[in-house]
Amino acid sequence: KVSFEFFGDSYSLSATKSVSSPGSEFCISYGPRSNDQLLQYYGFVEPDNPHDVYIMPPLLEWNIEAMEQACGRRIEPGRLEKLQRAGLLGGSQPSSPSSSENDDTATANPLGGVVVTRENGIDPAILQALRALISTPEEWEGAGEAVGNFATEWSPENERMARLAAKTGLEQELQSKPTTLEEDQKQLQQIGSKLLGPEEELAIRFRIEKKKLLQETIQKL
């Protein structure tokens, strides 16, 4: 563990278990940090980081027409207003962090963007919003026209539609990037030819990890 030695104005690192042999390598943990934090504070990107996070635009900014086309359903009038009152659309005003966000993620997400994590996938609150948003008039009436009743799966078909809507939003986010994952990976291969500087290499590695996270989440949906 690490301790600050006040009188020595220094840090000390002590082992919490016996050392196997002199000269053994010691490693310290950076903690459960996303690649955004690792890059910003420590200057590296961890491949397949289990704690990585991607923050998408708020649900309010998603392409509603694309979701309607993908699901073959029309979003009924008044649904967006209901979600807005429930605080599930995000928007231009800073929002309070959801229970699935840690303090660092909330700080980087003041406008209530959709949080995607490698550990949990898309924010459960967004799936709740999409269940309500894409529900048929019959499903909506059966739920008492209450967004809260969509916190868990309402029906297999409604769940399929909600996940399809989420998948559509994630796919559109990927398509909005100027390069594809494959193009980034190919560019990274130029490192050996010294065509890339260290900062550009880090930027490409960062992009790759974020796109991989989005693709993995799409596949899980």
- Largest separation between any pair of C-alpha atoms in the chain: 71
Query: Considering the chain, what percentage of its residues have pLDDT values greater than 90?
Result: 63
CB burial of residue 183 (10 Å; 0-12, 13-18, 19+): middle
Average pLDDT on 116-134 reads 95
| CA–CA dist 137, 57 (Å, integer) | 27
Q: What is the pLDDT of residues 172-210, one digit of tens each?
A: 999 999 999 999 998 888 766 566 678 888 999 999 999
Alpha carbons 145 and 155: distance in angstroms, whole number: 15
